[in-house]
């Protein structure tokens, strides 16, 4: 802002003289830079108030070394105070550049509350605002679910409009491409279950029951749960970002004006692909997890592979497997819907897409855990 | 300029807007807007940033429902029609979006083909013939299998135009067509718009604040204003430049050289 070389690093200061009756001459001195201490406008006003009858404030900048916006802010503040007290501020004695900037920034600089918005919103107003937000959010969720249901009916009747190649690609992305990460996590979960369990079981000399623990644990709970969490972070977030970016780029508008429902064209293939693939991934995770458990049992606790297999076969009922598979299908719907919903309801800015992905994952995981809890209660009541 | 209580003029007016009031939630953007767009005309909707140009477009093409007022395509009341009629109307409408809105997961050919697959029963071979014709019209022959992200801004704009023209629409909407184009490409796009309007007799509606382009192609225009929330001027842009008395319109058309006091204008 300033072309003059800094001649000294002396801080910006002011002092005052009274060249004639009613006129206060402010001498601006030193360097006025943002980040340094400098006088406040009040100082001038206090000084002016010391001699009643002050009508004009003028300036002298012959000792001013360097300046930036801090000087302008000081002068604008001063100008405000002057106009409210009826004192004339004579800009003649200011550098040309300062005068021009002052003219541009005419109108007051409201220094208070500019950066802290909503500072004065009361607690109750805050609660109210959040409640309304929650109501709007819930309504749009309901609307989304309704539209999705209609689209699903159309899909089942074969009337939905989507590209088969998209569905194929999505199935590949949700299924085959997720295998490596699902393998890794499941084998580790199986290992961990085995390790933790066997330490306790060994106290009773019942190491063989590690097969029951790992088998039932994986099939009923951990297989479905871990795949769901992996897929939420991997695929759900991807759905949210894809649709969010499409929304910000007007791509979804372009579909709508073409008479293509984004629900049928974008959301349904994603929901269907994930719902088809998740149960398969879940079964795969169960098997890999059980292998992980077997690795602990067979490798470290002298159980033969045959014994381990027999024990797992005895312990594991088909019911356990069904529950896991059904759960994984339900989780798949939650993941896809959460991803798509947050993607489609994104604000039109770049940061909003990231926010949508985060929200999709958080909401999705919370819903998954809640649903898991509900299903656990239901199955225990039904004694399955 | 006020068409309220008048029947839309048959055959001549292609799009008639009557007493339209547009709002986002509780914020009113435009109030009591009435105008009509003649068949085969190049119609400019102009105005400063934030005056509601793009918003008006959204309501014209059925993305948002107006609070009040009607939009007629020929004599059909768009918002009172059922969705089959609306989709038939929109089939006759091509839109070039401000951000191009090419579907990023599809190649150029697939982008242009989707409207055709959606609305016609053409065989795959016929579709691909039309697609390559449309792409060569905008000078993109040989780029059929590229994805939008692999193209420059100007090429994306032209590809989006090819898609907008896929169904040989009667009406083409351009939302700030020269945004993001260099002067030469912007000029080429203007020429293309003139060419299309001349050879295909397409009605063209251009939303723009690019003066060079407005004067080069516009035959009729309306000027929207953010504060008045309505139309301040109606007519040929060149004539408006000579005859308009409204300081806002003059300032806009002269890049601020005349009309408003620029110190006031910057403060707004």
Mean residue pLDDT of chain B comes to 84
The partner residue sitting opposite A257, judged by closest CB among B63, B104, B114, is: B63
Q: Look up residue B213 and give its two tokens.
A: 């382009």
> Is the CB of A249 less than 8 angstroms away from the CB of B98?
no
User: Kindly report the CA angle at B50 between B3 and B208, in degrees rounded to 5?
Assistant: 70
Q: pLDDT value at position B30?
A: 87
Instruction: Tell me: pLDDT of A342 over 50.
Output: yes
Closest A-chain CA to B60? A257
Residue of chain B minimizing CA distance to A260: B118
- Whether residue B61 contacts residue B98, with contact meaning beta carbons closer than 8 Å, is answered with no
Count, in order, helices (H) and strands (E) of chain B. 10, 10
State whether residue B67 is helix, strand or coil: coil
Chain B partners within 8 Å of A242 (Cβ): 105
Q: Taking CB atoms and an 8 Å limit, are B87 and A250 in contact across chains?
A: no
Which distant-in-sequence residues (6+ apart) come within 8 Å of A155 by Cβ? A162, A264, A268, A272
Read off the pLDDT of each residue in B205-219 and give the average, rounded to a whole number: 89
User: A75-85 burial by CB neighbour count: b if 16+ within 10 A, else e?
Assistant: bbbbbbbbeee
Task: For B129-142, give one letter per residue: b (16+ CB within 10 A) or e.
Answer: ebbbebbebbebee
Decide if pLDDT at A5 tops 70: no
**What is this structure's pTM?**
0.76
- Specify whether the CB–CB gap between A218 and A210 falls below 8 A: no
Q: Where are the alpha helices (DSSP H) in chain B?
A: 53-60, 83-91, 108-119, 124-137, 153-164, 183-200, 211-217, 237-243, 247-253, 262-267
Q: What is the pLDDT of residue A3?
A: 43
The answer for A188, left when phi > 0, alpha when psi is -120 to 50, beta otherwise, is alpha
- The alpha-carbon radius of gyration of chain A (Å, integer) is 35
Per-residue pLDDT, A117: 54
Q: Are A282 and A224 in contact (CB under 8 A)?
A: yes
Residues 106 through 125 of chain B touching chain A, CB cutoff 8 Å = 114-115, 118-119
Here the tokens at position B267 are 């403060």
The CB-side HSE value for A106 (13 A sphere, CA atoms) comes to: 12
Q: What does the block give as tokens for A295?
A: 């690795």
Q: B118–A257: do the CB atoms touch at under 8 Å?
A: no
CB contact (8 A) between residue B97 and residue A254: yes
- Closest-CA residue to B115 (of A266, A155, A248, A259): A259
Judged against a pLDDT cut of 50, whether residue B3 lies above it is answered with no
Query: CB-CB: which of B87, B91, B97 is closest to A253?
Result: B97
What is the per-residue pLDDT for A347? Answer: 82
- B184 — pLDDT class (breaks 50, 70, 90): confident
Closest CA–CA distance from residue A263 to any residue of chain B (Å):
15
**Mean pLDDT, rounded, for B40-64:** 87
* Chain-chain contact of A249 with B104 (C-beta, under 8 angstroms): yes
The model's pLDDT over A324-341, given as tens digits with 9 standing for 90+, comes to 999 999 999 999 999 999
C-alpha separations of B15 from A230, B3, B8, B70, B239 in Å? 52, 12, 9, 10, 22
Alpha carbon of A204: minimum distance to chain B alpha carbons (Å)? 59
B263 vs A contacts (CB less than 8 Å)? 103
Among B63, B93, B98, whose Cβ lies nearest the Cβ of A256?
B63
Higher per-residue pLDDT: A365 or A56: A365
How many other β-carbons are positioned within 10 Å of the β-carbon of residue B54?
16
Express each pLDDT in A218-232 by its tens digit: 999 999 999 999 999
For residues B233 and B220, is the Cβ–Cβ distance under 8 A?
no
Nearest-by-Cβ selection for B62 from A104, A242, A257: A257
CA distances from B197 to B9, B49, B159, B174 (A): 21, 27, 18, 13
pLDDT single digits (tens) A74-96: 888 888 888 888 888 888 888 88
What's the CA dihedral at A192, A196, A198, A203 to 10 degrees? 170
For chains A and B, count residue pairs whose Cβ atoms are closer than 8 Å.
Answer: 52
Task: State the nearest Cα–Cα gap between A74 and chain B, in angstroms.
Answer: 20
What residue of A is the nearest CA neighbor of B84?
A259
Which distant-in-sequence residues (6+ apart) come within 8 Å of B77 by Cβ? B70, B71
Q: Is the pLDDT of residue A108 over 80?
A: no
CB contact (8 A) between residue A161 and residue B118: yes
Do the Cβ atoms of A259 and B90 come within 8 Å?
Answer: yes
| Closest residue to A107, CB basis, from B104, B115, B267 | B267
CB contact under 8 A, A258 and B61: no
By three-state DSSP, how is residue A180 classified?
helix
Backbone φ, ψ for residue B46 (5° rounding)? -120, 170
**CATH number given to A13-104:** 3.30.750.24
Residues of chain A found within 8 Å of residue B114, distances taken between Cβ atoms: 258, 260
Distance (Å) from the alpha carbon of B101 to chain A's nearest alpha carbon: 4
Q: Do B103 and A107 touch (CB under 8 A)?
A: no
Q: Say yes or no for a CB contact (<8 Å) between A257 and B95.
A: yes
The pLDDT assigned to A127 comes to: 93
Which residues of chain B neighbour A245 with C-beta distances below 8 Å?
104
Mean pLDDT of A198-222: 90
Q: In what order do the strands lie in the sheet with B13-24?
A: B27-38, B13-24, B68-73, B76-77
Q: How many C-beta atoms surround the C-beta of residue A265 within 10 A?
A: 22
CB B3 within 8 A of CB B35: yes
Min CA distance, B90 vs chain A (Å)? 7
In a 10 Å sphere around its CB, with 0-12 CB exposed, 13-18 middle and 19+ buried, how is residue B229 labelled? Answer: middle
Which of chain A's residues have a Cβ under 8 Å away from the Cβ of B103?
246, 251, 254-255
Mark A309-341 as b/e (b = at least 16 C-beta within 10 Å). Answer: eebbeebbeeebbebbbebbbbbbbbbbbbbbb
Cα–Cα distance list, A103 to A67, A79, A85, A361 (Å): 17, 11, 20, 50
**A156 has which bridge partners?**
none
Domain with CATH 3.30.750.24 in chain A: 13-104
- Nearest chain B alpha carbon to A166: B105
Helix (H, G, I), strand (E, B) or coil at A195: helix
Whole-angstrom distance, CA of residue A278 vs CA of residue A340: 17
């Amino acid at each position: 802002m300033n072309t003059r070389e800094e001649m000294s690093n002396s801080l910006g200061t002011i002092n005052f003289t009274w060249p004639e009756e009613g006129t206060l001459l402010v001498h601006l001195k030193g360097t006025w830079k943002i980040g340094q201490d400098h006088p406040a406008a009040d100082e001038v006003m206090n000084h002016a108030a010391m001699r009643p009858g002050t009508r004009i404030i003028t300036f002298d900048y012959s000792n001013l070394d360097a300046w930036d916006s801090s000087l302008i802010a000081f002068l604008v503040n001063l100008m405000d105070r002057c106009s409210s007290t009826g004192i004339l501020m004579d800009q003649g004695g200011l550098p040309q550049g300062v005068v021009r900037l002052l003219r541009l920034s005419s109108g007051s600089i409201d220094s208070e509350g500019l950066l802290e918005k909503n500072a004065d919103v009361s607690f109750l107003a805050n609660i109210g605002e959040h409640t309304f937000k929650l109501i709007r959010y819930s309504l749009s969720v309901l609307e989304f679910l309704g539209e999705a249901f209609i689209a699903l009916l159309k899909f089942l009747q074969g009337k939905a409009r989507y590209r088969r190649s998209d569905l194929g690609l999505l199935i590949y992305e949700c299924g085959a491409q997720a295998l490596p990460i699902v393998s890794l996590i499941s084998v580790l979960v199986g290992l961990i279950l085995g390790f933790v369990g066997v330490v306790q079981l060994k106290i009773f000399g019942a190491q063989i029951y590690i097969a029951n623990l790992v088998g039932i644990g994986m099939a009923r709970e951990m297989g479905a749960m871990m795949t769901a969490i992996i897929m939420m972070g991997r695929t759900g977030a991807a759905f949210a970002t894809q649709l969010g970016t499409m929304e910000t780029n007007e791509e979804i508008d372009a579909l709508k004006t073409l008479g293509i429902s984004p629900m049928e064209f974008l959301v349904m293939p994603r929901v269907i692909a994930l719902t088809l693939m998740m149960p398969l991934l879940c079964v795969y995770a169960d098997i890999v997890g059980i292998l992980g458990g077997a690795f602990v049992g067979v490798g470290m606790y002298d159980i033969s592979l045959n014994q381990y297999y027999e024990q797992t076969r005895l312990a594991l009922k088909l019911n356990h497997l069904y529950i896991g598979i059904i759960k994984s299908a339900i989780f798949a719907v939650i993941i896809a819907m959460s991803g798509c919903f947050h993607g489609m309801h994104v604000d039109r800015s770049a940061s909003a897409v990231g926010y949508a992905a985060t929200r999709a994952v958080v909401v999705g995981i919370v819903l998954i855990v809640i649903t898991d809890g509900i299903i656990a209660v239901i199955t225990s009541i039904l004694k399955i | 300029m006020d068409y309220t209580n008048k029947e839309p003029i048959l055959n001549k007016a292609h799009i008639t807007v009557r007493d339209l009031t547009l709002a986002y939630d509780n914020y009113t953007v435009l109030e009591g807007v009435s105008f009509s767009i003649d068949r085969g005309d190049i119609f400019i909707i102009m105005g400063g940033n934030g005056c509601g140009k793009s918003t008006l477009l959204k309501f014209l093409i059925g993305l948002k429902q107006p609070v009040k007022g009607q939009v007629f395509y020929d004599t059909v009341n768009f918002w009172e029609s059922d969705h089959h009629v609306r989709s038939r109307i929109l089939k006759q409408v091509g839109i070039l979006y401000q951000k191009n809105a090419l579907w990023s997961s599809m190649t150029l050919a697939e982008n242009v083909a989707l409207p055709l697959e959606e609305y016609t029963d053409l065989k795959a071979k016929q579709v691909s013939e039309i697609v390559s014709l449309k792409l060569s019209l905008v000078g993109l022959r040989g780029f059929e299998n590229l994805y939008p992200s692999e193209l420059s801004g100007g090429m994306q704009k032209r590809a989006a135009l090819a898609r907008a023209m896929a169904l040989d629409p009667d009406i083409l909407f351009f939302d700030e067509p020269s945004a993001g184009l260099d002067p030469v490409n912007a000029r080429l796009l203007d020429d293309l718009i003139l060419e299309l309007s001349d050879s295909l007799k397409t009605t063209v509606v251009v939303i723009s604040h690019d003066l060079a382009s407005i004067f080069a192609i516009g035959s009729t225009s309306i000027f929207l204003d953010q504060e008045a929330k309505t139309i301040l001027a109606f007519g040929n842009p060149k004539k408006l430049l000579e005859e308009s008395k409204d300081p806002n319109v003059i300032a806009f058309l002269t890049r601020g050289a005349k009309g408003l006091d620029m110190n006031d204008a910057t403060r707004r």
